[in-house]
Amino acid sequence: MEVKTIRSTLARLFLSRITVRSAAIPQRSAEINTCRRSLAVRPLPLLGPPEVLSGFPKERKNGVVVRSGNKELRSISVKGGTPRLLEGRAPGVHGHPLGTYRLGPPGSIAPLRVSNRRGYERIAALPQERASRLSQIRRRPSALRADEIPLALFYPLLQDNLEKSILNREKGTLLLWYNSSRRVPSSRALLLLRRTGGEGGLEWRWISPD
């Protein structure tokens, strides 16, 4: 037995002493995680007034295709004025991706830009939608003749800003695309009526809302 061990054993037995050793403890740094989040907000500033907000598919130059639910609706009319009725097509036909395009000369559609600013593009491409206000009128519009039946009344519409409009026959709403470069403050109401006399048929008529 070593002298050192004998000394230690005797010290413990007779003097109640034990050896205390020391050792360096390595410094530890705990990794701290946080639950705080930094939220990503898509930067989609407006670069300039959008020219025309529309859903023109490039390959269809004769009309506008708008997706409503699972149906694709097609209009015949494109340029301003009064909208024409849509022909609804069978379910299962999907619409085209919406984009922002500049209107070229009649009959041609040139893309304005294609970018990944998908949020702004999407909302700028969407038309505004108006529900019929016919149930809210208190009296028969004075613009109606005796042989005319009002079917729908849309308000407010900026007639001179209107680039195109489409009637969604399923929902009874009017989809509107404005030309944002024009600033015309006055608005009007658009009445859809059915003529019972003469040749009959449907007619759109601009009227004063008052």
Q: Which residues bind another protein (CB under 8 A)?
A: 35, 37, 39-46, 49-50, 53, 118-120, 122-124, 126, 128-130, 133, 136-138, 153, 155-156, 158, 161, 178, 180, 185, 187, 189, 209-210
Residue with tokens 């301003």: 80
Q: How near is the Cβ of 179 to another protein at its closest, in Å?
A: 9
Based on CB atoms, which residue is closest to another protein, 8 or 96? 96
- For the beta sheet containing 128-130, the strands, ordered from the edge strand earlier in sequence to the opposite edge, are 128-130, 173-178, 162-168
Based on CB atoms, which residue is closest to another protein, 24 or 46? 46
CB 197 within 8 A of CB 204: no
CB 144 within 8 A of CB 150: yes
Based on CB atoms, which residue is closest to another protein, 8 or 171? 171
**What is the gyration radius of the CA atoms in the chain, in angstroms?**
37
CB 173 within 8 A of CB 129: yes
Secondary structure letter of residue 136 according to DSSP: G
Q: How near is the Cβ of 40 to another protein at its closest, in Å?
A: 5
Q: How near is the Cβ of 133 to another protein at its closest, in Å?
A: 4
Closest-CA residue to 112 (of 120, 138, 170): 120
Q: How near is the Cβ of 178 to another protein at its closest, in Å?
A: 6
Based on CB atoms, which residue is closest to another protein, 8 or 57? 57
